Structure 1
Amino acid sequence: MTKVFKRIYTYNFLLPAAIIYTVIFIVPTFMSFFFSMTRWTLSDWHFIGLDNFTSFFEEPSLSIGFKNTFVYAVVTCVLKVVLGLLLGVFLTSKIKTKGYLRSVVFFPTLVSTIAVGIAFGMMMHPTTGLINTSLGWFGIEGPDWLGNTKLALLSVAFVDVWKGVGFATVIYIAGIMSIPEEYYEALQIDGGNAWNKFWSIIVPLSRSATNAVIVLAFIGGLRSFDLIWAMTRGGPGFATDVIASIIYKQYQGGFYGLATAGNVILFVFVTALVFPLTRYLNRKEVDL
């Protein structure tokens, strides 16, 4: 009986977290699945089965939304991994101002996404924006960054990378600093250079940091909405429409059940991509 009471006493410490998790995550998740099969308003609902899902997949811009979502997620993920790793290596080297530089790199992460979107939207204006004005000083005619259908999505993606690379860098700094000094000493004895240190020690032994950055950046890219909406509202045309912006437009139109079905589809889409990716990355991880 004593062991049973001890076990109950231990589980009591988990109870508050379990209640909060259930109320904030579990219950809304099941409610979303239910209301995705209804036509609902704030005061009424009617069960209609899978009609919302059928209607959502008939959305004209959905195929473009899926493609843009995937492209956006891959571009932002790759750039955050590469730049985060390079900045992490630089900011763990023996430079006197690395503390200050770490703050500078991480600062954009703390700024409101909407504020960043509005600011860069103004900076990327084709005629009065700071970027094209600066290029004009060197005789270069800048493009319409957010009005060109071929450039708009990539332009927003680069802003996303600027804002989020600081978080990736912090993860890499932690991963690089956790590598034991013995590896560097052994490499120095063997006559290795800086490239050997980077490629043979830092890259493989910071694999756990890389995996974390890949998963977090990829999920963030697949779910991205606020920055895209603040900068382009899905335009020009459907050039920067992603799944989340299509769902938001359904909410704006008052099609709440249809939009809820879209959220369920987005949840399944993200899970279907991220779950196997996570399992694959975990199998490739190197233990120190």
Structure 2
Amino acid sequence: MTLNTTATAPAASSRQVAEPAKRRKARSSYPYWFYLPAAVIYTGLFLVPTFASFFFSLTRWNFNSFTFIGLDNFVQFFNEPSLLKGLTNTFIYGVVTAVLKVVLGMLLGVFLTSRIIARGYLRSIIFFPVLLSSIGVGIVFTVLLDPSNGMINKALAAIGIEGPSWLTDPAWALLSVAFVDVWKGVGLAAVIFIAGIVSIPQEYFEAAKVDGASSFKCFWNITLPLARPATATVIILSLIGGLRSFDLIWVMTQGGPGFTSDVIASVIYKQYQAGFYGLSTAGNVVLFLIVTAIVVPLSMFLNRKEVEQ
């Protein structure tokens, strides 16, 4: 009788352990249903168009039919005379806008987290251009940068400086659009830096001041290292935006004069306007691969440095 009791005890115990495990397993699978709406949206809006673009870049297509032609679109795209200039301009535009947004955003972030009057009002003023339409901003600055009647050149003339032909001079066209892009987007960079700086414990700054550290040393040794996550975010977002930029360039210069302010996105759009849909799709794939090849390694590098810190 004793043997039967001892034999059944482990069996009962194992059943008791198995039943909660089954219940835990059944419960753990339930939350995965919450991923379903996001997965459907992500698949429909990103994965399907991405794979469709890769497929149609290998075809000659219109809205009624398509013909598979292999890599001919890519060969033709890289033989376009404007592509090399557009590729160079894309990198120049992306680097210039990203660097200026990081530097100016950091300076504005430090300024707007200091003890100044009307700090909240100034933050809203800095962020306001981000809310404006890129098309509207482009049209307004096209008028302001007019070499003859624009207010910017008139203001420069009032202090004895002859302003250049901002949007028609090949030496200034691309940089002029880049400066407008920075004006419009630096507010977002500043807000990200403000969030990063505010999250730094104030005890560090108080201890540094007790030790006699100057404001510059506090910035260099405390703010800059501890705001690294915000810096990495601004770098990545600004670089992606700069490499993909199209709307401001198209509104203000349409890639001109000549090809001097063309970027890859504007070259792609011109091919689409001409009816070369397969060629423009191949250009989109090229742009996607370029942005991915630059941003993914850079993001991994910045995140690794952040973890090492």
Query: Normalising by structure 1, what TM-score?
Result: 0.98
Per the alignment, residue 123 of structure 2 pairs with: 102
Selected match of 1:160 from 169, 176, 181:
181
Greater helix percent: which structure? 2
Q: 1:228 and 2:252 equivalent? A: no
Deviations 1:225-275 (A, max 9, x none): 001001000001111000000000011001001000000000001111111
Q: Secondary structure at the match of 1:39?
A: strand
Alpha-carbon distance in 2 for matches of 1:286, 1:44:
51
Query: Normalising by structure 2, what TM-score?
Result: 0.91
Selected match of 1:247 from 261, 268, 273:
268
Which AA in structure 2 matches 1:63?
A: L
Q: 1:115 and 2:157 equivalent? A: no
Deviations 1:128-153 (A, max 9, x none): 11111111222221110011101111
Paired residues in the alignment total 288
Between Structure 1 and Structure 2, whose CA radius of gyration is higher?
2
Selected match of 2:224 from 188, 199, 203:
203
Q: Secondary structure at the match of 2:240?
A: helix
Bigger drift between 131-140 and 250-259 goes to 131-140
Alpha-carbon distance in 2 for matches of 1:25, 1:249:
24
Matches within 5 A, 1:53-64: 53-64=74-85
What's the CA shift for 1:186? 1.4
Which AA in structure 1 matches 2:232?
A: N
Q: Secondary structure at the match of 1:234?
A: coil
Bigger drift between 18-27 and 3-12 goes to 3-12
Per the alignment, residue 92 of structure 2 pairs with: 71
Per the alignment, residue 237 of structure 2 pairs with: 216
Selected match of 1:2 from 15, 23, 41:
23
Q: 1:238 and 2:279 equivalent? A: no
Alpha-carbon distance in 2 for matches of 1:139, 1:82:
29
CA contact 1:172–1:210 (8 Å) conserved in 2: yes
Q: Secondary structure at the match of 1:99?
A: helix
Per the alignment, residue 159 of structure 2 pairs with: 138
Per the alignment, residue 283 of structure 2 pairs with: 262
Selected match of 2:196 from 167, 175, 179:
175
What's the CA shift for 1:287? 7.6
CA contact 1:208–1:286 (8 Å) conserved in 2: no
Q: Secondary structure at the match of 2:60?
A: strand
What's the CA shift for 1:8? 2.4
- Report % sequence identity: 63
Per the alignment, residue 11 of structure 2 pairs with: none
Alpha-carbon distance in 2 for matches of 1:282, 1:7:
31
CA contact 1:171–1:213 (8 Å) conserved in 2: yes
Q: 1:190 and 2:211 equivalent? A: yes
Alpha-carbon distance in 2 for matches of 1:156, 1:71:
12
Q: Secondary structure at the match of 2:67?
A: strand
CA contact 1:76–1:157 (8 Å) conserved in 2: yes
CA contact 1:91–1:102 (8 Å) conserved in 2: yes
Alpha-carbon distance in 2 for matches of 1:287, 1:36:
41
Selected match of 2:298 from 277, 281, 287:
277
Deviations 1:21-53 (A, max 9, x none): 001101110000001111111111111111111
Which AA in structure 1 matches 2:238?
A: A
Q: 1:128 and 2:169 equivalent? A: no
